[in-house]
Structure 1
Amino acid sequence: MTDLNNLKYSEEHEWVAVDGSVATIGITDFAADALGDIVFVELPEVGTELTRGDVFGEAESTKSVSELYAPVTGTVVEVNDAVVDDPALVNTSPFEEAWLVKVDLADGAADGLLDRAAYTALTKS
């Protein structure tokens, strides 16, 4: 089980797990619950340059389509094909199996993200 307190969070409801210079990015349980049943996920290709705040994909649910915003700047080094093949993983395992992409971080790219307490406060307001 992922320790949610060790993750960083964006105000757009993405989580980030930093391991050295690589960040793993996913959608939070709060966002997954708000979206409803996820039926389609579109992700960028390996080698795509992400800029923090820019759209990098989308998640479509039975309720709506939501854009995914890059919480960090860097280059996509891995894409989770399992979540593309089975988008429901976002609902059933948002912090484990349903990571979206891994990004080689630009220097300081994870600065300014929220910790768990700040993200929890954001989602309760």
Structure 2
Amino acid sequence: MTTYYTKDHEWVRIDGDTAVIGISEHAQEQLGDVVFVELPPVGKEVSQGDQAAVVESVKAASEVYAPVSGEVIEGNSAIEENPALVNEEAEGKGWFFKLRLRDPSELAGLMDRAAYEAYLETLG
């Protein structure tokens, strides 16, 4: 499974036609302790770049944007019950939602891990 990143610090992991989406470790570190998440409803159609979820920490509230277009097929209820999972494993158990991928060509505009890490270096 390949993982891609956005400049807004979301990640998307592709498994067949399913896209698993969350926030990067970098985003989680910037937010601090996550205290609340709001996930999109199953069945919602999102387009690339749309606001799809909300994450709140003790410091700030942030939107989570859809890195690719598709239909929401699952939300991670575990992080609704225990938002701290996002802090513990942002790029693993702390995933936000899954989409049925509509347009795989959208992945071409995203970064792989090496490109994302190089991008983070530019943020200073």
Shorter-chain TM band: over 0.9
- Residue 122 of structure 1 corresponds to 119
TM-score (norm 1): 0.92
Runs in 1 of length 4+ with deviation above 3 angstroms?
Answer: none
Q: CA RMSD in A?
A: 1.1
1:95 equivalent in structure 2: 91
Q: Identity over aligned residues, as a percent? A: 47
Which residue is equivalent to 2:109? 112
Shift in Å, 1:110: 2.4
Corresponding position of 2:70: 74
1:74–1:109 CA contact under 8 A, matched in 2:
no
CA distance in 1, matches of 2:44, 2:51: 12
Q: Please, which moves more after superposition, 108-117 or 39-48?
A: 108-117
Match of 1:52 in 2: 48
CA distance in 2, matches of 1:83, 1:109: 27
**CA deviation vs aligned residue, 1:16-51 (integer Å, no higher than 9, x gap):** 110111100011100000000000000101000011
TM-score (norm: length of structure 2) = 0.93
**Equivalent AA in structure 1 for residue 24 of structure 2:** T
Separation (CA, whole Å) in 2 of partners of 1:82 and 1:99:
9
Aligned to 1:24: 20
**C-alpha distance 7-27 of structure 1, shift in aligned 2 (>3 A):** same
Q: How many residues align?
A: 121
Between the aligned partners of 1:26 and 1:96, the Cα distance in structure 2 is 8
Q: Deviations over 1:45-97 (max 9, x none)?
A: 10000111111111100001111111000000111000111111111011111
Structural mapping, 1:3-42, within 5 Å: 6-42=2-38
